[in-house]
């Protein structure tokens, strides 16, 4: 069984181990790809649960907003926003090539 991580007050490992030793420990404990993938899935679920991002919650409708298209030489830019959580918007400028402009090679 893996030892729990012991952290010091500055966030660094109190008892550093070399990467090679850790990989050797993993190879003894998880000797098949299936065992490693099972562990990886448990770690992934635990991280999502710990960050409160588990997928069991209801999905928020994205409600996208796309506006202010600007066309330049060979590409265009649009302002895009969507709602990640109710009341929280993610905003970006999205660049895309102008595919309808055919140019000789």
Domains: count for the chain? 2
Q: pLDDT for 56-75, tens place per residue?
A: 667 778 899 999 999 999 89
Residue 17, domain extent: 1-57
Q: pLDDT band at 17, cuts 50/70/90? A: low
My answer on whether 25 and 74 are in the same domain is no
My answer on whether 45 and 15 are in the same domain is yes
Examine the pLDDT at 16 and tell me if it is beyond 50.
yes
Examine the pLDDT at 33 and tell me if it is beyond 50.
yes
Examine the pLDDT at 13 and tell me if it is beyond 60.
no
What is the model's pTM? 0.41
Q: pLDDT band at 102, cuts 50/70/90? A: low
Rg (CA), the chain: 23
The answer for residues whose C-beta is within 8 angstroms of residue 26's C-beta and 6 or more apart is 36
My answer on whether 40 and 77 are in the same domain is no
């Amino acid at each position: 069984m893996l030892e729990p991580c012991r952290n010091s007050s500055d966030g660094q490992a109190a008892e550093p181990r070399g990467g090679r030793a850790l990989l050797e420990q993993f190879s003894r404990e998880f000797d098949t790809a299936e065992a490693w993938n099972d562990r990886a899935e448990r770690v992934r679920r635990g991280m999502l649960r710990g960050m409160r991002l588990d997928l069991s919650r209801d999905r928020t409708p994205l409600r996208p907003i796309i506006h202010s298209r600007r066309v330049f030489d060979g590409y265009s830019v649009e302002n895009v926003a969507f709602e990640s959580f109710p009341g929280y918007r993610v905003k970006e400028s999205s660049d895309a090539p102008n595919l309808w402009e055919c140019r000789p090679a």
